[in-house]
Amino acid sequence: MFLHLPLEHYQKTDESEDLRKLAEREIISCEEEIAELKHQIVLLLIPSEETDNSDLVMEVTAGVGGQEAMLFTSEIFDMYQRYAAYKKWKFETLEYFPSEIGGLRRAVASIAGIEAYKYMKFEGGVHRVQRVPKTEKQGRIHTSTMTVAILPQPSEMKLKINPKDLRIETKRASGAGGQHVNTTDSAVRIVHIPTGVTSECQQERSQIRNKEKAMQMLCAKLYNIKLEEETKKRNSVRKIQIGTKGRSEKIRTYNFPQDRITDHRISRSVHHIESFMLGEEMLDEMIQTLREYADYESLMEIISENEK
């Protein structure tokens, strides 16, 4: 038996449903606006670092683990090259020292683009990989490490170097095992005499180009030393800020058997290592989370200082 209600009843029901959906959309919109306003307030309260808009020099170095560490270093270097492409930054290899089986002993690259250092500064530190190496016959899991150093690239205004303080040497570029890769003295080594800081480049066939790249690396190293001194003077270093500290600190583990990446600074784990190492959305989301956490810590630091 069907109960026939007046037409007006159904019209009122439809109107109520429309109002409910409209209210729900309005609530979601307001919540999003509140979240954005909170974010803007945090940004206004936290002073930006002078290096945030800088370009950078990235250095990757194989750590503990022999050939497996070198293979992992190569993979991480490629990941950041893809990330630079994803962010539409310019990526240029300054130095590249491969190992015999396709790995990477050490490499240096410059990355230039909008807020490049602001994002990449959180990637500095020790990266650890846990997996079964291809050369392992027993199927045992090995742990290897590699280190990433992120150095902001100074402008000429921020760092001035007296040419008299530089010693520039040239030599023949060498390949793996010490074989000469060309017969001209194209490799360049620059020594900053007051500090003893050195930089060299043999990536290009042109001596002039190698000198430019070596100088670029030297400036980044000297600028980083200057920043570290200033940070010590201020005596206020954020726990998560990796830009000027923590290169010996384990920041992230890539566990292949469990298909999991864990960032130890924020105790956050994500899965799908292959997708993460494409250097696109997953890596960008991890870096965004690190940035938000760093902003929160900075805000807490400001609040605690004002309460004293």
- Full set of structural domains in the chain with CATH: 55-155+222-307 (3.30.70.1660)
Give the C-alpha separation, 266 to 21, whole Å: 37
Q: pLDDT by residue (tens digit) across 173-210?
A: 665 444 444 445 788 888 898 888 888 888 777 888 88
Residue 118 scores a pLDDT above 80:
yes
pTM, to two decimals? 0.71
User: Running DSSP on this structure, what letter comes out for residue 142?
Assistant: E
Which one is predicted more confidently, 187 or 285? 285
Among 77, 82, 120, 112, CA closest to 97: 77
Q: How confident is the model at residue 140 (pLDDT cuts 50, 70, 90)?
A: confident
User: Tokens representing 53?
Assistant: 């808009």
pLDDT of res. 231: 59
Residue tagged 């206004």 (tokens):
44
pLDDT of res. 81: 97
Residue 102 CB contacts under 8 Å (≥ 6 apart), including other chains: 71, 74
Q: pLDDT by residue (tens digit) across 32-66?
A: 888 888 767 766 666 666 677 788 889 999 998 88
Residue 229 scores a pLDDT above 80:
no
Give the C-alpha separation, 159 to 206, whole Å: 26
Residue 295 scores a pLDDT above 90:
no
Give the C-alpha separation, 279 to 211, whole Å: 30
Q: pLDDT by residue (tens digit) across 246-272?
A: 445 689 999 999 999 999 989 999 999
> What is the total residue count of the chain?
308
pLDDT of res. 45: 66
% pLDDT > 70, the chain: 77
Residue 176 CB contacts under 8 Å (≥ 6 apart), including other chains: 97, 98, 99, 100
pLDDT of res. 3: 55
Residue 211 scores a pLDDT above 90:
no
Give the C-alpha separation, 75 to 72, whole Å: 5
